Amino acid sequence: MLGKNLTIIGGSGGMGKVFGEFFKEHGFKITLHARNLEKLKTAAKKLDVKYESSLEESVKEADIILVSIPISSTASMIHKVSPLLKKNALLVDISSLKSEVVKTMKESIKNYPINCLSLHPMFGPGIKNMRNFVMLLIKIGGTVNYEEKVKDLIKIFELNGLIITETIPDIHDKRIALTLGVPHMFNILFLNLIRRTKEPLTELTKYTGTTFLLQKVFAESIIQREMDMFAEIQIENQEFYEVLNLFESLIKEYKDIILKKDKPKFKQLFLDALEYSKEDDDFKYSYMFFYEFLKILKEEKKA
Ligand SMILES: NC(=O)c1ccc[n+]([C@@H]2O[C@H](COP(=O)([O-])OP(=O)(O)OC[C@H]3O[C@@H](n4cnc5c(N)ncnc54)[C@H](OP(=O)(O)O)[C@@H]3O)[C@@H](O)[C@H]2O)c1
Residue located nearest, by CA, to atom 34 of ligand 1 = 34
DSSP 8-state class, residue 178: I
Ligand 1 proximity of 70 Cβ (cutoff 6 Å): yes
Residue located nearest, by CA, to atom 6 of ligand 1 = 121
The whole model's pTM is what?
0.93
pLDDT of residue 303: 64
- Does the structure show a pLDDT above 70 at 136? yes
Q: Which atom of ligand 1 is nearest to the CA of 15?
A: 16
Residues 293 and 250 in one domain: yes
Ligand 1 proximity of 53 Cβ (cutoff 6 Å): no
Ligand 1 proximity of 71 Cβ (cutoff 6 Å): yes
Displacement of CA 23 from its chain's centroid (Å): 19
Residues 133 and 267 in one domain: no
Q: Which atom of ligand 1 is nearest to the CA of 77?
A: 31
Q: How far is the CA of 68 from the centre of ligand 1 (A)?
A: 5
Banded model confidence at residue 302, pLDDT cuts 50, 70, 90: low
- Does the structure show a pLDDT above 80 at 139? yes
pLDDT of residue 208: 87
Ligand 1 proximity of 69 Cβ (cutoff 6 Å): yes
- Does the structure show a pLDDT above 90 at 301? no
Q: Which atom of ligand 1 is nearest to the CA of 35?
A: 41
String of DSSP letters for 46-103: HHT-EE-S-HHHHHTT-SEEEE-S-HHHHHHHHHHHGGGSPTT-EEEE--S--HHHHH
Q: How far is the CA of 34 from the centre of ligand 1 (A)?
A: 9
pLDDT of residue 297: 85
What CATH code is carried by the domain that includes residue 54? Answer: 3.40.50.720
Q: How far is the CA of 282 from the centre of ligand 1 (A)?
A: 33
Ligand 1 proximity of 79 Cβ (cutoff 6 Å): no
Residues 18 and 141 in one domain: yes
Last residue of a domain, one of 167, 191, 212: 167
Ligand 1 proximity of 35 Cβ (cutoff 6 Å): yes
Torsion angles phi and psi, residue 166, rounded to 5: -80, 140
Ligand 1 proximity of 227 Cβ (cutoff 6 Å): no
Residues 148 and 269 in one domain: no
CB-CB contact of 36 with 15 (8 Å): no
Q: Which domain holds residue 43?
A: 5-167
The contacts of residue 77 (CB under 8 Å, 6+ apart) are 9, 67, 69
Ligand 1 proximity of 15 Cβ (cutoff 6 Å): yes
Last residue of a domain, one of 115, 145, 167: 167
Q: How far is the CA of 96 from the centre of ligand 1 (A)?
A: 11
pLDDT of residue 22: 97
Residues 104 and 241 in one domain: no
Residues 11 and 99 in one domain: yes
| Model pLDDT for residues 16-65, shown as the tens digit of each residue | 999 999 999 999 999 999 999 999 999 999 999 999 999 999 999 999 99
pLDDT of residue 1: 80
Q: Give me the chain's average pLDDT, please.
A: 96
Residues 195 and 241 in one domain: yes
